[in-house]
Amino acid sequence: MSTNQHTLDLDRAHVFHSWSAQGALAPFVIAGASGTEVWDYDGNRYLDFSSQLVNVNIGHSHPKVVAAIQEQAANLATVAPAHANLQRGEAAARILAKAGPGFDKVFFTNGGADANENAIRMARLFTGRDKVLSTYRSYHGNTGAAVVATGDWRRVPNEYARGHVHFFGPFPYRSEFWSDSPEQETERALQHLERVIVSEGASSIAALLLEGVPGTAGVIMPPPGWYAGVRALCDKYGILWIADEVMSGFGRTGDWFAWQNAEVNPDGVVPDLITFAKGVNSGYVPVGGVVISDPVSHTFDDQVFPGGLTYSGHPLAAASIVASIDAMEEEGILENAAAIGRDVLGPGLRALAESHPMIGEVRGVGVFWALDLVTSRETREPVPASTIGALKKELMARGLLPFAADNRIHVVPPCTVTAEECLRALAILDEAFTAVEN
């Protein structure tokens, strides 16, 4: 029986949801999707400006990716990771081509969390050190080390992994360093980071794990010089830089990886390990992985890497990666994401902020934006949860599926979104803010 109510009844009777108290849940029902739209069984249609969990970069039901999965399923649906498979090799080759020189191999995982787990493992084995540094404003996944590397509240009930240290990264709008400019924020954040490194004992630190652009924490654009300073500190103290590109990679910023984006990393410095998932195939089949630099990869030429997964490089996932990357190239999807951010979303969201004092700051690049909502622009006090709830209700009533986190509305449509769809979304946002303010 295909109805909203039957779907909801089954869900509430049998499905245990993540990050939730189960009793009062009322999940939104999705029956189907195409491009930038999703719909329920009652025929209600919504612009998906959440990209689900900021992962459907190529849009829903892209025909080339769907066809590739179907073809691969008919040919070879699964294979042990120890065997060679053409699609796996093709997927790795395409990912490495996007990462550029200096990267030798790809280790495939089931998703972003275990990508970060294995990058941490590689860094510890390569350096012979134990500690991993990450920021308080971060999310790295919900497995043993990844969730403890995470900085937000989800870490606290899960602190079972060892050797994790947190610090404050730069955030000019909500500075921990009393900075009065982005340049000063960079200088003080780097000073703070070096003090943490020295205080923890540099010779005990294996890796610095940083999101390309912190996503769930608020689409926090790194200020100028931040990544150049990070690279310099890592080189100075023999620490590996792991770039967590799970959310920010494969088109989200208008580039293959956020660290390649001129607004994010104008100095063009390169990380040692890159983790990915989400946008590499838009989540059509669960997959993630680690892009490994040559020195780290060659460490395991004669030394056994003590890690593996039954579904590492799963052929359905690999086929979807090949099709996704090829379609992104053939259809100019990254160029579209960059242009949408530059010409439509950026100007449109900034114009929205001029009309609504609740919007304290607009941040972002490509199709990766956040509206930081405040009760007062002078104090920058975040709006309460009730305001976010009211905004979500108004947006949904007007046919826009948002991504909300803390005091923010994130504007994160697929990279395939059109200018017309963005203008519709901006109009809906304007109406919803007006309704809540009134």
- What pLDDT sits at residue 2? 87
Please, what is the average pLDDT of the chain?
97
What 3-state DSSP class applies to 162?
coil
Distance CA 425, CA 409 (A): 13
* Annotation: CATH topology of 31-61+333-437: Aspartate Aminotransferase, domain 1 (3.90.1150)
Percent of the chain with pLDDT over 70: 100
The pLDDT of residue 225 is above 90: yes
| Overall average pLDDT of the 11-39 stretch | 95
Mean pLDDT of 379-383: 98
Give the per-residue pLDDT at 283: 97
Q: How confident is the model at residue 1 (pLDDT cuts 50, 70, 90)?
A: confident
CATH 3.90.1150.10 intervals, the chain? 31-61+333-437
Q: Structure pTM?
A: 0.97
Average pLDDT on 99-121 reads 97
Residue 294 has pLDDT above 80, yes or no: yes
Percentage of the chain lying above the pLDDT 90 cut: 99
Class at the top of the CATH hierarchy for domain 63-330: alpha beta
Which residues on adjacent β-strands are paired with residue 364?
369
CA distance 301 to 126: 12
The Cα–Cα gap between 111 and 53 comes to 13
Report the C-alpha gap between 59 and 414 in whole angstroms.
Answer: 5
Parts of the chain belonging to CATH 3.40.640.10:
63-330
Residue 333 structure tokens: 């999807």
Could you report how far apart the first and last alpha carbons of the chain are, in Å?
A: 41
Overall average pLDDT of the 92-99 stretch: 98
Q: Which CB contacts under 8 angstroms, 24+ apart, belong to 330-336? A: 331/416, 333/57, 333/58, 333/251, 333/415, 333/416, 334/251, 334/254, 334/255, 334/256, 334/415, 335/254, 336/415, 336/416, 336/417
**What are the angstrom distances between the C-alpha of 54 and each of 4, 11, 26, 244, 393?**
24, 23, 21, 14, 20
Angle (CA) 405 270 255, round 5°: 55
Please name which of 131, 59, 8 lies closest in space to residue 282, comparing C-alpha atoms.
59
pLDDT at 160 exceeding the cut of 90: yes
Q: Is the pLDDT of residue 220 over 80?
A: yes
Residue 85: predicted pLDDT: 96
